[in-house]
Structure 1
Amino acid sequence: MSCQISLSRPIRQFTGILAITILTGAPNASANTLDRQLTALQDFQVVAHRGASGHAPEHTLPAFQMAYDMGADYLELDIQMTADGELVVLHDETLNRTTDAEGPLQDYTLAELQELDAGSWFNTTNPSRAQSRFAGTQVPTLDQVIDRFGTQTRYYIETKSAERDPTLEAELMEALEGRGLIEAGAVTIQSFSQESLRKVQAINPNVPLVQLVWYYPENEDSEELTEWTGVTPGPEAITDADFQEVRDYAVAIGTNMTYQGEPVIDEAFVTQAQDNDLLVHVYTVNGIPMMEQLLGWGVDGMFTNFPDRLIRLTQ
């Protein structure tokens, strides 16, 4: 499943949670699994954003199946909880955009949610890629995705709206551990919430964590950028110490490349993060020219709605 490209920089040696485990000398099978997963992450990663969501309705089994068949390294998915505490795969907090219902997800039970049509909207929005089989597609549960793709597939999971569901991390980790995905080295956890990532780390330190950041100008007329949650300063002001604070718990930083069509990071940002032992995964990149630019900068992975395009460039 791995798409590899030759990178000019030397392979970095991961520190942090992996080094702590190694130094203790504990014969921990999970730590060995983490070691293997971190080694695998040294290769360039094609992350299928919400599945192959440029070709099929996002966060549905058809989209994930397409990404899997294309050979994406990771299936990327957002996890939220229903009114009755079930883990489902959906990005928005409301159902308005991607189903035939309206209102907050948290107001619906799983049974109610899975009666909805989560596919027809794609056919309306993307007539050139519409398929009749998308109509009536369900919002899947996490279990349904795992049932389909198993423990040999790797999952890049975001704890979505974690502040709304304080038990989300515990429920998610229980599900992943129970299905053997942590032991298989099949999961990376991402979040914009530093608190959420630290919760995951406290539950099980043998999971690679990715700190998501979103850079944008705080004011319309401002040239200075800010980060959405304040986890780092803007790229023009970020220091090695800022990156090291992230590296204390995460192995990678996931950043936007642009805001309203304008770049928010540059090659120096990528290099500085990597010099501080952080992988750099960039979202969400769909155009080939930008893919080629980022590959030239030596990023470690990209989120894309069109994994087939990126795979062709990296083979």
Structure 2
Amino acid sequence: MPGPYLATEGPIAFSHRGFSPEGLENTLPALEAAIGLGFRYLEIDVRTTRDGVVMVFHDERLERVTNGTGRLADHSLAELSAVRVRGNERIPTLAEVLQRWPDVRLNIDVKDDASVRPIVEVIEQSGAHDRVLVASFSDRRRLRVLRQLSRPTASSAGMAVSAIVKAASPLGLARWVARLARVDCLQVPRHFRGFPVVTRGFVRRCNAAGIPVHVWTVNERPVMEELLAEGVGGLVSDRADVLARVMRDRGPWPQII
């Protein structure tokens, strides 16, 4: 049986870093905009400051989307309070996002090793175990978070475990690998380095093993509809507006959680 996080009717729609045509990714307005479109699952990224505060931010460095410079990890929370995303919005903390939207579920991509213990502390303090899914490209980092939590929390496979599950699925071993690796779902790209990852057979075998496949990052309506027809368990999209229309045409929206 799926845990509370994944226990919902039909495929899950995730907004990728919220929704902002202006590029205000991972900011409060971007997350608010996605929620306004009907999303109840938000994909976000986290990194940790020099003084141990978990921030909602994707890049290692500040330059691409902010007026700051250098690595986020080299700054304190106080120093980051003056930094603005696209010149307008501040970088929020994970604790702030959890508190602001208690009825929303977060798919949290843990971007650095320094975030392992701080994210555990935020989840424990907020009692958000059923509201978050722990993700990371690094399975080692992901498992370090899970082992330190006092209660089970949903988790998706990193790159290594995803590859092992894909290789094991034709042998009927996908469920065994997933259980051993503490994986509740796979979050994968449709293609990787030119090779198909998400195929109809792979999705069918994963579904039979009780492992939903979530596909990122899907921004075109025809591709969304094709993947949903193939039985994927979720889609992650930058185009939350498009995905919301697709989901509304399929059934109840906003998604009931």
TM bracket, shorter-chain basis: 0.7 to 0.9
2:207 corresponds in structure 1 to: 274
Q: TM-score, normalised on structure 1?
A: 0.71
One of 22, 43, 49 as aligned partner of 1:76: 43
One of 142, 157, 160 as aligned partner of 2:94: 142
Alignment of 1:162-181 (within 5 A): 162=113, 165=114, 168-181=115-128
Whether 2:39 is the aligned partner of 1:88: answer no
CA–CA distance in 2 between the matches of 1:207 and 1:282?
A: 20
1:191 corresponds in structure 2 to: 136
- Mark the CA change 1:205 to 1:180 in structure 2 (over 3 Å): closer, same or farther: closer
Q: Report deviation, 1:233.
A: 4.6
1:232 corresponds in structure 2 to: 163
Aligned length: 245
CA–CA distance in 2 between the matches of 1:262 and 1:98?
A: 31
Q: Report deviation, 1:238.
A: 5.6
Gaps of 5+ in 1: 1-12, 15-33, 120-134, 214-228
Q: Report deviation, 1:204.
A: 3.2
SS at match of 1:75: strand
2:221 corresponds in structure 1 to: 288
Deviation digits for residues 103-131 of structure 1 (CA, Å, limit 9, x no counterpart): 21111111212211212xxxxxxxxxxxx
SS at match of 2:163: coil
CA–CA distance in 2 between the matches of 1:260 and 1:276?
A: 26
Contact 1:81 1:88 in 2 (8 A): yes
Deviation digits for residues 24-60 of structure 1 (CA, Å, limit 9, x no counterpart): xxxxxxxxxx4x43422x5311111111144541011
- Mark the CA change 1:87 to 1:50 in structure 2 (over 3 Å): closer, same or farther: same
1:37 corresponds in structure 2 to: 5
Contact 1:114 1:140 in 2 (8 A): no
1:157 corresponds in structure 2 to: 108
Contact 1:116 1:136 in 2 (8 A): no
CA–CA distance in 1 between the matches of 2:165 and 2:177?
A: 15
Q: Report deviation, 1:90.
A: 0.7
Contact 2:54 2:93 in 1 (8 A): yes
Q: Report deviation, 1:186.
A: 1.4
Q: TM-score, normalised on structure 2?
A: 0.85
Gaps of 5+ in 2: 249-257
2:247 corresponds in structure 1 to: 314
CA–CA distance in 1 between the matches of 2:40 and 2:231?
A: 17
SS at match of 1:85: coil
- Mark the CA change 1:266 to 1:99 in structure 2 (over 3 Å): closer, same or farther: same
1:126 corresponds in structure 2 to: none
| Rg larger in structure | 1
Contact 1:232 1:238 in 2 (8 A): no
Q: Report deviation, 1:237.
A: 7.5
SS at match of 2:157: strand
Contact 2:188 2:197 in 1 (8 A): no
> What is the one-letter code of the residue matched to 1:266?
T
- Mark the CA change 1:53 to 1:68 in structure 2 (over 3 Å): closer, same or farther: same
Whether 2:231 is the aligned partner of 1:298: answer yes
> What is the one-letter code of the residue matched to 1:207?
T
